Amino acid sequence: MTLRVLIVDDEALARARLRTLLGDCKAPAAQVVAEAANAQQACAVLAGQTVDLLLLDIHMPGMDGLQLAQQLQAQPRPPAVVFVTAHAGHALQAFDLAAADYLTKPVRLDRLQQALQKVERLLQVKPAPEPDLMQDVLVIHDRGRTERVPLASVLYLKAELKYITVRTAGRSYVLDGSLSELEARHANVFIRVHRNALVARRALRSLEKHFDPEEGEGWAVRLQGLDEALMVSRRQLAAVREAMAG
């Protein structure tokens, strides 16, 4: 068995050392499919390919490794996580998050090989998940009524005050939830275009120059089935262009 591994660490030297050590692991072997310097990059990798294992640093700028691991648990089939950190004080939290192992830096080859063996055993005994009918819908509670809105019909999710507007071609709903949680759980369905908005990847129609009274001149996306334009932040512009090209 060869484990598909994603290395997540904000230090390039730490990533390089892990890559070298993984090259010396044999039973099981490991293939580094990607590296990420932060949680956001890791989520982008996971949205595009299947990974068996995350070798995950804890202390990183922005979202730390513990927070990322917690978000991944909400996915139907999360990858295994082995924390790799210079600090031993987070071990209890790590195992509360069902981590397969916890390695302290500098990592020794024998300990890394043991961690890979644990992950291999977990993957061999892990039962195939039962179909989760809820993962393909958003459950909306509104004025005493509960409605299941298929994800396939959602064009965008927009955070407004304490709620999220869920927009389909036919109507809008109000959802009580977290935009970041929805982004992590459905990264393969939605792409962030702004700090307050996710749009359906399949619905991207065009990217164009746009003037917004509040944000000034910039870029916006238009979606299939909607006339309104949604502003794209400068930070997300490259990712949106890449999604449009794909």
Query: pLDDT tier at 90 (50, 70, 90 boundaries)?
Result: low
CATH number at residue 146: 2.40.50.1020
* Residues 183 and 200 reside in one and the same domain: yes
Q: How far apart are CA 184 and CA 43, in angstroms?
A: 7
Across the chain, mean pLDDT equals: 87
Domain membership of residue 198 as a residue range = 133-245
* Residues 177 and 101 reside in one and the same domain: no
Q: How far apart are CA 237 and CA 227, in angstroms?
A: 20
pLDDT at residue 199, rounded to an integer: 96
* Residues 159 and 209 reside in one and the same domain: yes
Query: pLDDT tier at 125 (50, 70, 90 boundaries)?
Result: low
* Residues 69 and 140 reside in one and the same domain: no
Query: pLDDT tier at 128 (50, 70, 90 boundaries)?
Result: very low
* Residues 102 and 157 reside in one and the same domain: no
Q: Which residues pair with 147 in a beta bridge?
A: 140
DSSP secondary structure, 64-110, as one string: -HHHHHHHHTTSSSPPEEEEEES-GGGHHHHHHTT-SEEEESSPPHH
**Percentage of the chain lying above the pLDDT 90 cut:** 54
